Structure 1
Amino acid sequence: MPEIPRWASQALSGVYDPCCREKGISVVEMGLIRSVEVNEGLARVELLLTSGWCPFAARVLTEVRERIEEQPGVREAEVEVVWDEAWTVDRLSPRAARMLRFLPDPAQVPDKAAYVARREQR
């Protein structure tokens, strides 16, 4: 995964996919930002979506662009959804993964009742 500049991570840490806003998980923690580059005041941001059917994509793209354009040295920003890489849960920050608690692949749970019982004890 390319390193996202610290200034960009900080600027985008308050941008949320509406599905995760109530949990306080930003697009940075979701791993939706693939890259940020600035050349002569023009910023280019590559963004992944959790789903190609995300109904909030336009809103997220707009908010990312606005936040990047507010940064010193940036006069304009382009935000592009990239399709050559799929978003996976591996991109989640450790905090986001803990908060979302994704369930394992059903094939990895041979005894469903035992798995559910263990989860209920937590």
Structure 2
Amino acid sequence: MPAHVLSHASGGRDLWSDPLPSRPEDPETAVRELLGEVLDPELPVSIVDLGLVYGIEVEGRTARIAITFTATACPCMEFIEEDVRDRLLREPWLDDVDVEHVWDPPWTRERITPAGRKALKRLGVAS
């Protein structure tokens, strides 16, 4: 599995790993790892490490992703959703990605992972 991408000036798309050669035994875990490559457009920290991913289900060749945002008026919602779809649809074992926006429970800083806190600290952003 790829390591979490924490920072890159281009938004990280050119750092995305190559597609997996086949459907993994645990597709939900694989999808979580792949989403670790998707960076928040405003902060070069993965959406997984920011705690924006609320749920992952893989049924057949469809991934269902429940995500939230740091604010209901987040200007990056469309960019993040597009990156989630684009990253996952690179995988030959996925044909469709459904992204659901979840607002309850609301996102809080407590959802940030230890790796995310470390990345934010390196960026000089309080977490």
Q: TM-score, normalised by structure 2?
A: 0.68
Task: Write the distance in 2 (CA, Å) between the matches of 1:101 and 1:83.
Answer: 23
Which structure 2 residue ranges, 5 or more long, are not aligned? Answer: 1-26
Q: Secondary structure at the match of 2:73?
A: coil
Q: Secondary structure at the match of 1:61?
A: helix
Count of equivalent residues: 96
> Which structure: greater helix fraction?
1
Superposition pairs of residues 1-122 of structure 1, within 5 angstroms: 5-21=28-44, 25-98=45-118, 99=121, 100-102=125-127
What residue number does 1:115 align with? none
Q: Counterpart amino acid of 1:46? A: A
Q: TM-score, normalised by structure 1?
A: 0.71
Query: Can you list the C-alpha shifts for 1:29-60, whole angstroms capped at 9, x where unaligned?
Result: 00111111111211110001000111010010
Task: Write the distance in 2 (CA, Å) between the matches of 1:88 and 1:69.
Answer: 29
Rate the CA distance shift 1:32–1:14 in 2: closer, same or farther, 3 A: same
Q: Counterpart amino acid of 1:76? A: D
Answer yes or no: is the 8 Å Cα contact 1:14–1:26 preserved in 2.
yes
Q: Secondary structure at the match of 1:29?
A: coil
Residue identity (%): 29
Residue 72 of structure 1, CA deviation: 4.0
Answer yes or no: is the 8 Å Cα contact 2:32–2:56 preserved in 1.
no
Which structure 1 residue ranges, 5 or more long, are not aligned? Answer: 103-122
Residue 9 of structure 1, CA deviation: 2.2
Q: Secondary structure at the match of 2:41?
A: coil
